């Protein structure tokens, strides 16, 4: 089977996590999802070409596993990243040739649906569309960028959902809202090796507890300003630290805010770090916080839960499906520093509660590994390929032997 994967962002090389690469938002849930899925499929013998944008320092072409490759196109600058779509449009006749499945990953991106439709027209292959962040049902905000994405992007999303042979949603909530029958609900996963903790890659041993961590892009969506205010509201007797892992357009403002709130000395901004360091960091903190204003799932929640780290998150989007309040973690209304501070205080002051939440969370995501989830994605590929060519036989390798999986 040959898959053409279309995504505006993909796992970057470590060299793109600093310097000019920072302005490119190189780390995020879509990047981790597409990389994990690609590697898991490659291990099953599925040949894939990943077509994506090119952050600074990244090579144009690179192998992935034994059967796959990533092609990065566009001019490597932070502004107008969607220009990768113009380059991709030109190269699609060559790259789409011989494709069996076009798998497009939709986030906050205007290019991927038109590219998927063109690739399908060129190759005759069916489209599988994964909606990571629905521009119609998940995205919020009244700034010009959000309004453009909801209007123009929402129409493109609708066209993609209508034209795709199969649609994958990350949550049941979004699956119901996409307004078409037969949506497959397959969440983001983690690598089976994600629990590997390397000495010296976590936090300094002398950093006082409790350690409260945020991991993600420093973007208004993520609500890190709410977290800073909540950290300020915690009792003065706490000697712990707030650790912020990530970077983005909000970093300078958040630095200023930490100084203004008087918490700069107890706040560490680590910037982007290689993804293979995240398990060590999560193991070294007392609670992981995701205070997003909007979010469909939040792959870092899956990672923290898999590591056994207690979580506090916003009750928004599909998060309550994954984290049941008081069972796998604590949920608070988005944008409420007081509620967030109260939840953090509750976890920090009650170690048995923290341990109970972490234990339930770990069991909740026990099968959220790509070793399990990859077969559900592969079944979607087989189904759409059969709908196009019912004469495929066992000689087609991964197309044969469909499994029955839950959705």
CA atoms of 371 and 189, how far apart (whole Å): 9
Strands annotated E in 13-87: 47-53, 61-64, 68-73
Buried b (16+ CB within 10 A) or exposed e, 149-170: bbeebbebbbebbeebbbbbbb
What are the pLDDT digits (tens) for 38-90? 999 999 999 999 999 988 888 899 999 999 999 999 876 655 565 788 899 99
Residue 356 belongs to some domain of the structure? yes
Cα-to-chain-centroid distance, residue 40: 16
Residue 202 belongs to some domain of the structure? no
Structural domain containing residue 267:
211-364
Residue 16 belongs to some domain of the structure? yes
Name, in order, each residue with C-beta under 8 angstroms of 44's C-beta and a sequence gap of 6 or more: 374, 378, 398
Is there a single domain that holds both residue 249 and residue 297? yes
Q: How confident is the model at residue 205 (pLDDT cuts 50, 70, 90)?
A: confident
CA atoms of 141 and 144, how far apart (whole Å): 9
Residue 281 belongs to some domain of the structure? yes
- Judge residue 189's burial from the number of C-beta atoms within 10 Å of its C-beta, 0-12 exposed, 13-18 middle, 19 or more buried: buried
**What is the reported pLDDT for 359?**
96
Is there a single domain that holds both residue 353 and residue 376? no
**What is the reported pLDDT for 80?**
57
Is there a single domain that holds both residue 10 and residue 156? yes
With a pLDDT cut of 70, the percent of the chain lying above it is 88
Sheet with 211-215: strands ordered across: 267-271, 241-245, 211-215, 287-290, 311-314, 330-332
Is there a single domain that holds both residue 393 and residue 352? no
Write the CATH number for 118.
3.40.50.2000
Is there a single domain that holds both residue 380 and residue 334? no
CA atoms of 387 and 380, how far apart (whole Å): 11
Is there a single domain that holds both residue 156 and residue 173? yes
Residue 201 belongs to some domain of the structure? no
Residue 156 belongs to some domain of the structure? yes
CA atoms of 300 and 222, how far apart (whole Å): 12
With a pLDDT cut of 90, the percent of the chain lying above it is 61
H-type alpha helices, 178-277: 224-233, 251-261
Is there a single domain that holds both residue 258 and residue 165? no
Is there a single domain that holds both residue 21 and residue 113? yes
CA atoms of 170 and 11, how far apart (whole Å): 19
CA atoms of 330 and 305, how far apart (whole Å): 12
Is there a single domain that holds both residue 23 and residue 110? yes
Q: Is residue 85 within 8 Å of 116, Cβ to Cβ?
A: no
The average pLDDT across 275-291 equals 92
Residue 206 belongs to some domain of the structure? no
**What is the reported pLDDT for 28?**
76
Cβ of 237: how many Cβ atoms within 10 Å?
Answer: 5
Is there a single domain that holds both residue 145 and residue 238? no
**What is the reported pLDDT for 120?**
97
Tokens at residue 288, please? 């992981």
Q: How confident is the model at residue 199 (pLDDT cuts 50, 70, 90)?
A: low
Is there a single domain that holds both residue 100 and residue 181? yes
Total number of domains in the chain: 2
Is there a single domain that holds both residue 381 and residue 351? no
What are the pLDDT digits (tens) for 310-360? 999 999 999 999 999 999 999 999 999 999 999 999 999 999 999 999 999
Residue 199 belongs to some domain of the structure? no
């Amino acid at each position: 089977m040959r898959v053409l994967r279309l995504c505006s962002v993909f796992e970057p090389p470590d060299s793109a996590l600093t310097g000019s690469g920072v302005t490119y938002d190189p780390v995020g849930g879509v990047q981790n999802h597409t990389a994990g899925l690609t590697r898991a499929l490659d291990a099953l013998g599925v040949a894939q070409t990943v077509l994506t944008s090119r952050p600074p320092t990244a090579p144009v072409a690179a192998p992935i596993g034994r059967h796959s490759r990533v092609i990065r196109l566009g001019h490597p600058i932070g502004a107008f990243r969607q220009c990768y779509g113009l380059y991709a449009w030109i190269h699609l006749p060559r790259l789409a040739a011989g494709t069996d499945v076009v798998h497009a990953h939709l986030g906050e991106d205007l290019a991927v649906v038109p590219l998927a439709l063109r690739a399908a027209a060129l190759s005759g292959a069916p489209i599988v569309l994964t909606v990571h962040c629905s521009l119609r049902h998940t995205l919020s905000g009244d700034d010009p960028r959000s309004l453009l994405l909801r209007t123009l992007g929402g129409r493109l999303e609708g066209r993609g959902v209508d034209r795709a042979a199969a649609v994958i949603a990350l949550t049941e909530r979004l699956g119901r809202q996409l307004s078409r029958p037969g949506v497959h609900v397959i969440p983001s996963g983690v690598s089976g090796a994600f629990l590997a903790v390397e000495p010296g890659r976590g936090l300094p041993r002398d950093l006082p507890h409790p350690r409260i961590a945020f991991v993600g892009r420093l973007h208004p969506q993520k609500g890190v300003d709410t977290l800073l205010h909540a950290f300020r509201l915690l009792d003065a007797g706490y000697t712990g630290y707030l650790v912020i892992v990530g970077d983005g357009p909000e970093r300078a403002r958040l630095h200023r805010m930490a100084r203004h709130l008087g918490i700069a000395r107890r706040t560490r901004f680590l910037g982007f770090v290689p993804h293979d360091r995240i398990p060590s960091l999560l193991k070294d903190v007392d609670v992981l916080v995701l205070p997003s204003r909007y979010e469909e799932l939040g792959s870092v929640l899956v990672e923290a839960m898999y590591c056994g780290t207690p979580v506090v998150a916003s009750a928004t989007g599909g998060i309550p499906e994954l984290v049941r309040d008081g069972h796998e973690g604590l949920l608070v209304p988005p944008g409420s520093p007081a509620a967030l501070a109260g939840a953090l205080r509750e976890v920090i002051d009650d170690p048995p509660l923290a341990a109970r939440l972490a234990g339930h969370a770990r069991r909740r995501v026990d099968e959220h590994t790509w070793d399990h989830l990859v077969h559900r994605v592969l079944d979607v590929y087989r189904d759409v390929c059969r709908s196009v060519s019912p004469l495929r036989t066992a000689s087609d390798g991964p197309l044969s032997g469909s499994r029955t999986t839950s959705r």
